[in-house]
Amino acid sequence: MGRAGFLAYGLTRGGAADQIALHEAAALLGQSPTHAAIEMVGVGGTFESSVDTVIALTGAEMSASIDGSAVVWHASHSLPKGAKLKIGGVLKGTYGYLSVAGGIDTPQIMGARSTHFKAGIGSVLEPGQTLPLGAATTQRPGFLIAASDRFAGGDIRIVPSVQTDQFSPETLTRFAQTTFRRDARGNRQGVRMDAETDGFFVDGGLSIVSEVITEGDIQVTGDGAPYVLMCECQTTGGYPRIGTVLPCDLARVAQAPVGAPLRFRFVTVDEAREVEIKSRAEIKALAGRAKPLVRDPHDISDLLSYQLVSGAVSATTDPFAE
């Protein structure tokens, strides 16, 4: 989940670009969302465990198989010792996550195991690298969770920021009415928004003194293009901020694939508070939303409504007789 409390020392949170995916994995595996996982951008890889374990696949959907047999995403699966887990290209979204029962037990640095590329903490995985696993307290294979719809762009709620009132009312209206496209220029530090319209400028925008910025801030650079700052953004900046994305909508920005439409909608601080409270309550309720992949007929109250047999076959009549 990253490192909280170090902003004053020049270090932003880092951690998963899509924190909701870690909460979904925790619900599937019956463990804490603070366990370290593997974040995959656009494509996965081939993984093998030296012990019998259970995995969860969440976040952006990717093709996946275990020893050649396809497995579904947003679910937990048994991974036997020596079995090959192959994760291919992304099908929907940007960031996929591989979580393991017990988590990945690498050493903690500043209270967390997460990699922070901009700070030089940790590194990308290398071919053949071995990662230690933590002690699993539960084994929950065969569970499925309905992921929230956050992998194709959409509406992003924002609140006014420090320099919002320095933009003209006409510029703010145009900003809220513009359908942006997720630019190819984006990473864990920030995502550029592209649009077929003039830039969004403020008088004296380039003369703002550098000040504290945070994840979710929307900076407008010298060419008038908005950038949404993400989990590894810098801690100070001098570009004007037209608004700030609500924390609960940051996963939607992170998961938007290149070219996906994004629209920004201003809400009041009171509305933002209500939205955040509701979002956090939904995350807490995720554990109750994990359902078995294969349902027990005894647990299906409307079993008779399912068409289990189509047609009828006689044991005595010749089916080829005229």
Kindly report the CATH number assigned to the domain that includes residue 115. 2.60.120
Could you say which of 232, 267, 302 is where a domain stops? 267
pTM comes to 0.88
What single letter denotes the amino acid at residue 119?
A
Same domain, 244 and 138: no
Residue 129 predicted with pLDDT over 60:
yes
CATH number at residue 172: 2.40.100.10
Contact status, residue 98 vs residue 40, Cβ threshold 8 Å: yes
| Paired residues of 92 in beta bridges | 61
Range of 23-27, 199-203, 236-240, 285-289 with top mean pLDDT:
23-27
Same domain, 92 and 71: yes
Quickly list H helices, 46-200.
169-177
Residue 92: closest CA among 58, 62, 57: 62
Contact status, residue 266 vs residue 158, Cβ threshold 8 Å: yes
Could you say which of 92, 123, 144 is where a domain stops? 144
Three-state SS at 198? coil
Q: How confident is the model at residue 254 (pLDDT cuts 50, 70, 90)?
A: very high
Burial 31-59 (b: 16+ CB within 10 A, else e): bebebbbbbbeeebeebebeeebbbbbbb
Q: Are strands 154-159 and 261-266 parallel, antiparallel or unpaired?
A: parallel
pLDDT score for 6: 82
Same domain, 131 and 101: yes
Mean pLDDT of the chain: 91
Q: How far apart are CA 24 and CA 148, in angstroms?
A: 10
309 lies in a domain?
no
Residues 1-16: tens digit of each pLDDT: 888 888 888 888 889 9
Same domain, 132 and 248: no
The arithmetic mean of pLDDT across residues 166-175, rounded, is 95
Residue 267: closest CA among 164, 187, 197: 164
Could you say which of 144, 162, 179 is where a domain stops? 144
Same domain, 130 and 191: no
pLDDT score for 320: 63
Same domain, 118 and 245: no
Q: How confident is the model at residue 206 (pLDDT cuts 50, 70, 90)?
A: low
User: Chain-centre distance of CA 311, in angstroms?
Assistant: 45
pLDDT score for 177: 97
Range of 82-91, 120-129, 199-208 with top mean pLDDT:
82-91
| Paired residues of 90 in beta bridges | 62
Residues 134-166: tens digit of each pLDDT: 998 888 999 999 999 999 999 999 999 999 999
The arithmetic mean of pLDDT across residues 180-185, rounded, is 96
Q: How confident is the model at residue 111 (pLDDT cuts 50, 70, 90)?
A: confident
pLDDT score for 7: 83
What single letter denotes the amino acid at residue 85?
L
pLDDT score for 138: 87
Q: How far apart are CA 281 and CA 197, in angstroms?
A: 38
292 lies in a domain?
no
Q: How confident is the model at residue 280 (pLDDT cuts 50, 70, 90)?
A: very high
Residue 306 predicted with pLDDT over 70:
no
44 lies in a domain?
yes
Q: Range of 128's domain?
A: 9-144
Q: How far apart are CA 98 and CA 150, in angstroms?
A: 18
pLDDT score for 112: 86
202 lies in a domain?
yes
Q: Number of structural domains, the chain? A: 2
CB neighbours (10 Å) of residue 304? 7
Same domain, 17 and 93: yes
311 lies in a domain?
no
Percent of the chain with pLDDT over 90: 72
pLDDT score for 10: 85
For 282, residues 6+ apart whose C-beta sits below 8 A from its C-beta are: none
Q: How far apart are CA 306 and CA 303, in angstroms?
A: 6
pLDDT score for 277: 97
Comparing 74 with 306, the larger pLDDT belongs to 74
277 lies in a domain?
no
Instruction: Name the one residue in this structure whose structure tokens are 């068409």.
Output: 307
